[in-house]
Structure 1
Amino acid sequence: MNAQMAPQPGVPVERAADWWRGGVIYQIYPRSFQDSNGDGIGDLAGITQRLDYVASLGVDAIWISPFFKSPMKDFGYDVSDYRDVDPMFGTLADFDALLARAHALGLKVMIDLVLSHTSDQHPWFSESRASRDNPKSDWYVWADPKPDGTPPNNWLAIFGGSAWQWDARRQQYYLHNFLAAQPDLNFHEPQVQDALLDVARFWLDRGVDGFRLDTINFYFHDKDLRDNPPLPQDARNDSIAPQVNPYNHQDHLHSKSQPENLAFLERLRALTDAYDARACLGEIGDAHRGLEIMGQYTEGETRMHMCYAFEFLEGRRATAEGIAQVFRDLEAAAPDGWACWAFSNHDVQRHASRWGLSDDALRCYTMLIMCLRGSVCLYQGEELGLAEADVAFEDLQDPYGIEFWPEFKGRDGCRTPMVWQTQAENAGFGSGKSWLPVSPTHAEAAVDRQEQDPGAMLHHYRRAIALRGAHPALQAGHQDDLRADQNLLSFQRSDVSETLFCAFNLGDEPAVATLPDGSWQVVSQGMRGAVSPKGQHAMLGAWQYLIVKRAEG
C-alpha cells in the first residue's frame, strides 16, 4: 500500500508481490474519463493526461474497462481483436505511454479481459460459423434445434430473451449469454483455452500488472445443455439483472459456474505467476452462489488472487446486519478466500442514488469500505460523491436500457462523462459533443471546485484511502468480533503490529459503541462533530464512525 500521503508525480513506488491484497483499485471507464482529441469519446491519451489526479487519490492501481478493437455493440465488451486498441481509444503506442506514466507514478495497471465471449465480428467467429467442419467449427457453442425448431434448452440471456441465436449458415443455434452479437466461446475446446492464454501472455509481456476478468464464472457451460430449473419468486434479487428481466426467473445451474472452470483458472494463474507481482481479479456474476464460487475460485495459491463481489452492488442498502451476514457467509464459504468490494461500477446505478444516501451517509460508507477486510474497487466519480445522472430516452446508448425502458433505464446514468472543471465546456471532459451528455448537476461537483474546498467529498476519499494505507491491519490484517446491533456495525482489525477497533453508525438515530477492554487512541472519527469515548463507551451520532487503535504498553 501507499504511505500515508499519495505518491509524488514522477516518483515511482515499489510494492511487494502481494500489492493487491488490501489494495485500492480505481476503475476507469475509458469512453467517459477524458477526451483528448475532441471526438466526444474518452481515450487512452486522455487517461494518461489525468493520471496525476488518480495518483493524488492515493490508490494502488487502476482498472481500465475494455479498449480493444470492437464494433461497440456492448461498448467494448464485444471484442473483435484482443491484441489491438480500437481506433476510437488510440493505438498500442498510446497504451504503452499510459502504462509507462502510470508506473512512473507508482500506479499498477489492470486491464479488463473479456474471455467468455467475443464479438460476432471476431475472425474466430467468422470462421466458426462458415461450416461445421472447419478448424474453428467447435470454438463456439453450437447446438442443433429441437425437433420443432426451437432452441436446444431454456437458457436466457442477461440482456433479455433466449440465450440462443439461430444461424442460417450452419443451420444451428449458437449460445450468447449477453447480446446476440456476443457469441460464447467453447471452453471445452482445448484450442480455445490455449488461444485465450496467448492473449493474456501478450498483455503480460507488454507490462500490465494484472487482469480484471469479466464474467469469470461464465467461461464453461454444461456440455449436456440441461435446462436451468426455475427460481422461486422470493429468491430473486437484482444483483445481476434488474427485476423486470426474466433472467431472474431461473436458477442458472447449467449455463454457467461449471466445475471444469477450476482447471482453466489454474492454468491462467500459473501463467500470471510466471511474471513478477501480477494479479488476477475475477468478476463472479451469480446472485445466489457468489460467495461459494469465490471460495472455490480463490482457494489456495493456484487459482485467482481475488474475486469481485456483488454483495454490495445490490439495490437494497448495505445495512449493519446485512454486512455482518455477508462476512458470516464469506467465512463459511471462503475462509481463506480474498474478496474485492465495491459499492459502484459501470454496470449499476451509482450507490449515492441506489441507496438514497445523504452526504454524511456517503462519507460513512466510504470510511467503512476502507476498513473492511478485502481489497477495494472505486468507480470513477464516486470520490466526488456523484449521484446517478438523469439521461433522457433519446440520449440513451445502452442496449440494456433501451430494451427495458422505462422500468429499467440501463447503465448510461453511471457512465456519463467525468467532470473536471465546473465552468469549462463539457465540464472539461473534451471539446466535442460527448457520446453521453454531461450532467449539469455533476458539473457543479467537478474536481476543480472540490479541490478548493477542504471539506469536499474528494478530500474525504483521500483521507480514507490514506488511513487504509497508513495501517497494515486495515490492508491485510485479521477481522474479528464483527457485530451488528441495529444500525451499529463494529469489528476489530489486527496484525502483529497493531489492533484497531472500528464502529460505524449506519443510521439516522444515535448509537452507543462499546469499546473492548483496554486503552485506546482515536485514529479517525466522523467529520460532523468529534466523538469522545467516555470510558469504554462512545456515543455515535447519525452516520458517525469511530476508529481507535489499542495503545501500546
Structure 2
Amino acid sequence: MSTGQWWREGVFYQVYVPSFQDGDADGFGDLRGVERRLDYIAALGVTAIWLSPVYASPLLDFGYDVSGYTEIGAPFGDLATFDRVVRGAHARGLRVVLDYVPQHTSSEHPWFRDALSGRDSAHRDWYLWHDPKPGGGPPNNWASAFGGPSWTFHEPTGQYYYHAHLPEQPSLNWRNPDVQQAMFDVMRFWLDRGVDGFRVDAVWRLIKDARLRDNPMDDGGESFEIGGAAAHTTVRQVQKYTADQPELPGLLAKMHTVAEEYDDRMLMGELHLKLERVAALGERGLDIAMNFSLIDAPWNGVDLADLIRRYHAALPSRSHPNWVLSNHDRSRLASRIGAERVPGALALLLTLQGTPTLYYGDELGLPDAPVDSAHARDCAELRAPGLGLGRDPQRMPMPWCEKPAHAGFCADDVEPWLPIPAWAGRFSVERQERDPRSVLRLVKELLTLRRELAALRQGGTTVLSAHPDHLTYLRGDGEDSVLVAVNLSDHDQTIEFDGSRSTRWSSHSTERDRLTGTVTLAPFEARLLVGDAQRTFT
C-alpha cells in the first residue's frame, strides 16, 4: 500500500454544490456546474475539492438527508456526470473529497421505510427505537439540534425513534454490526469510483449512550448546536450522552481501516467539541479532525495567540492540525469580522500550520446575503421562523459575472434557488480577476506561496506576540522561516523582530522592501517576511 499523505500539505476548497454553479438551467447548483468550474478551482491553487452531499435526497436539508447512498440525486446529475467530475479534477491535479453522512438517513430511505413496517422488520434495529416512559412520553430529555425533542412517536408500532436533527433524519444505530457493514460498503462504493476521501458529517454524534441517560442542562459553555449558540431556543443541553461517546474512537478506527484498503485516501471528520478533545481525536481514526475554533474566536491578537498555542499544545504527536474560518453552517467570515479584516484573516488561515479548508466565496470576501421569510429554504429557519437561525445567508449562490441578472450562477431567465442580491456583481470572480489587489488575487498569491515556501507547508509554529491589535508568529526556523504579521486594528502597528528580513507578500502593497528590526503595518495589513536568502522581486 502507498503511504502517501497528500492531505498533510494540502488546501481543501469546500464546494456547497447547490450554490456553486447551475449547469442544467433549473436555478440549482449541480455536478455539471462543478465540472464547468474545475479550471477556476484548479487556478486558485488548492489541492482538493470537498463536495457537499450529492446523493439521492428529498432535499429537506439539501443533501444531508440521504435517501440513497449509492445514487446521485436527480437535481445534482447522475453517476456518469459524477465520474466526469472526478476524472476532470484528477486531470487537473485536484483531489476529490465527498461528504459522507453516516449519522442519519432520510426518512425516505428504504431502510427506514422497512423499519416503520413493524417491530420485527429486518431494518428495525438499524435505527434507535424505544418504548415510551412509564406513563407516556419520550424515553429521555434528548433535544434535537434544530430545536425541540429528538424523539418522534410512531403510533402504528407504539415506539419512539431518535433523530439528532430533523424528524425526517432518523439516526442510525451504529451499535448494530449490520449498519456498520452497510455503511462501510457505502464508503467502498465511492472509493471504487475514485474519490480520494471523505469529510465525515456529524461524526461526533455517531453513537449515543446505550443507557439513554438524560443530558444535563447547558452550563453556558459545553453545548454546540447548528447555527450557533442560539439554535436551542427552548432547550439547551450539554451533549454528554448524545455525542463523543467512549465507543467513538473504535468506530472511527474501523472506518479508517476501510479507507486503508485503498491507496492514498483520507478521512476528515466534523467535530464540534472542546478544542483539546478535537485535537485528541486526530489520532483516533481521523486523518484530519476539523478545528472550528477560529469561527468563534474573538478577533484580537491576545485571544488568537492563546488559541494557536492551546491547540498546538493539545495536539498529540500523530495528529495533524486543521483550521476552518467559515462553512455552510455558520455566518460568513466577512459578516462576522468585517470586510476590511478579511485579507488578514485569510492570510492567517492560509499560513497557519496544518491543512486549511476554504469555503467557496470566501476567496472573494463574500458576505452573508439577507434572505427574507418568503424566500427562506433552510430547515432551521422554516422550523423557527424569524429567530435568525437559518443558514440561507451564508449559502448565497456564487457570483461569477459582474452584469448578468443572477451574476452568472444561472441563466437570466431562470430563478435561482436562493436570492442573489443586486450587489453580488461587485464581488464577482470576473470583476476581481481584473483587480490586482482584490481578495481573490491575494488568495491566489498566498496559495502560490504555500507551494513555494516549505516553511508554510511543513514548518512548526512559534507565536511571537500577543498584543490586542496585532498577531505575529513564525513558521519554520532558521533562514527558511517565514514571519507572519497581521494588523488587526484600524491604525498603524509597528512590530519588532530579530535580524533582517524582506517582505515577500503584503495584502496592501506590492513593494518588496528589506527591513531590519521593525516593520510598520498599515491598518488591517498582513505581511509575510522572509530571510534575505529567500528574497525575490518577481
The aligned residue for residue 75 of structure 1 is 62
Deviation at 1:211, TM superposition (A): 0.5
Q: Matches of 1:42 and 1:500 in 2, distance apart? A: 39
* The one of 68, 71, 75 aligned to 1:84: 71
The reply on whether 1:330 has 2:311 as its aligned counterpart is yes
Deviation at 1:124, TM superposition (A): 0.9
The aligned residue for residue 468 of structure 1 is 450
The aligned residue for residue 363 of structure 2 is 383
The aligned residue for residue 282 of structure 2 is 298
Contact kept in structure 2, 1:231 and 1:251, CA below 8 Å: yes
Residues 108-507 of structure 1: matches in 2 within 5 Å? 108-233=95-220, 241-243=228-230, 245-246=232-233, 249-286=236-273, 289=274, 291-299=275-283, 303-314=285-296, 317-336=298-317, 337-355=319-337, 357-359=338-340, 361-431=341-411, 432-494=414-476, 498-507=480-489
Contact kept in structure 2, 1:175 and 1:183, CA below 8 Å: yes
Give deviations 1:451-475, integer Å, cap 9, x for gaps: 2222222111111111112112111
The reply on whether 1:64 has 2:51 as its aligned counterpart is yes
Higher mean C-alpha displacement, 389-398 vs 528-537: 528-537
Identical-pair percentage: 37
Q: What residue identity is the alignment partner of 1:170?
A: T
Contact kept in structure 2, 1:222 and 1:255, CA below 8 Å: yes
Q: Matches of 1:213 and 1:222 in 2, distance apart? A: 20
Higher mean C-alpha displacement, 202-211 vs 27-36: 27-36
Q: Matches of 2:98 and 2:421 in 1, distance apart? A: 27
The reply on whether 1:93 has 2:73 as its aligned counterpart is no
- Cα pair distance change 1:16/1:441, threshold 3 Å: farther
Q: What residue identity is the alignment partner of 1:97?
A: R
Contact kept in structure 2, 1:241 and 1:248, CA below 8 Å: no
- Cα pair distance change 1:544/1:440, threshold 3 Å: same
The reply on whether 1:549 has 2:530 as its aligned counterpart is yes
Deviation at 1:444, TM superposition (A): 2.5
Structure 1, unaligned runs of 5 or more: 1-14
Deviation at 1:424, TM superposition (A): 1.9
Q: Matches of 1:281 and 1:156 in 2, distance apart? A: 26
Q: Matches of 2:510 and 2:81 in 1, distance apart? A: 47
Q: Matches of 2:98 and 2:155 in 1, distance apart? A: 35
The aligned residue for residue 19 of structure 2 is 32
Contact kept in structure 2, 1:479 and 1:492, CA below 8 Å: yes
Indicate the SS of the match to 2:348: helix
Contact kept in structure 2, 1:157 and 1:247, CA below 8 Å: no
- Cα pair distance change 1:101/1:236, threshold 3 Å: closer
Q: Matches of 1:213 and 1:234 in 2, distance apart? A: 25
Q: Matches of 2:470 and 2:24 in 1, distance apart? A: 49
The aligned residue for residue 32 of structure 2 is 45
Indicate the SS of the match to 1:353: helix
- Cα pair distance change 1:448/1:546, threshold 3 Å: closer
Q: Matches of 1:48 and 1:234 in 2, distance apart? A: 42
Q: Matches of 1:273 and 1:211 in 2, distance apart? A: 12
Higher mean C-alpha displacement, 473-482 vs 110-119: 473-482
- Cα pair distance change 1:417/1:141, threshold 3 Å: same
Q: Matches of 1:118 and 1:540 in 2, distance apart? A: 51
Q: Matches of 1:87 and 1:239 in 2, distance apart? A: 27
Give deviations 1:123-181, integer Å, cap 9, x for gaps: 11112222222222211111111112111111111101011111123211111111010
- Cα pair distance change 1:57/1:254, threshold 3 Å: same
Deviation at 1:391, TM superposition (A): 1.1
Q: Matches of 2:100 and 2:362 in 1, distance apart? A: 23
Q: Matches of 1:405 and 1:115 in 2, distance apart? A: 28
Contact kept in structure 2, 1:187 and 1:220, CA below 8 Å: yes
Q: Matches of 1:380 and 1:322 in 2, distance apart? A: 26
Q: What residue identity is the alignment partner of 2:300?
A: T
Give deviations 1:422-447, integer Å, cap 9, x for gaps: 22242111222111112211122211
Contact kept in structure 1, 2:465 and 2:473, CA below 8 Å: yes
- Cα pair distance change 1:538/1:447, threshold 3 Å: same
Contact kept in structure 2, 1:419 and 1:442, CA below 8 Å: yes
Q: Matches of 1:226 and 1:324 in 2, distance apart? A: 38
Q: Matches of 1:366 and 1:521 in 2, distance apart? A: 21
Residues 530-545 of structure 1: matches in 2 within 5 Å? 535-545=516-526
Q: What residue identity is the alignment partner of 2:339?
A: S
Deviation at 1:321, TM superposition (A): 1.9
Q: Matches of 2:366 and 2:47 in 1, distance apart? A: 22
Give deviations 1:75-123, integer Å, cap 9, x for gaps: 1100010001001111000000111111111111000000000001111
Indicate the SS of the match to 2:173: coil
Deviation at 1:497, TM superposition (A): 7.9
What do you get for the CA RMSD once the two structures are aligned? 2.2
Contact kept in structure 1, 2:12 and 2:356, CA below 8 Å: yes
- Cα pair distance change 1:496/1:283, threshold 3 Å: farther
Q: Matches of 1:238 and 1:256 in 2, distance apart? A: 12
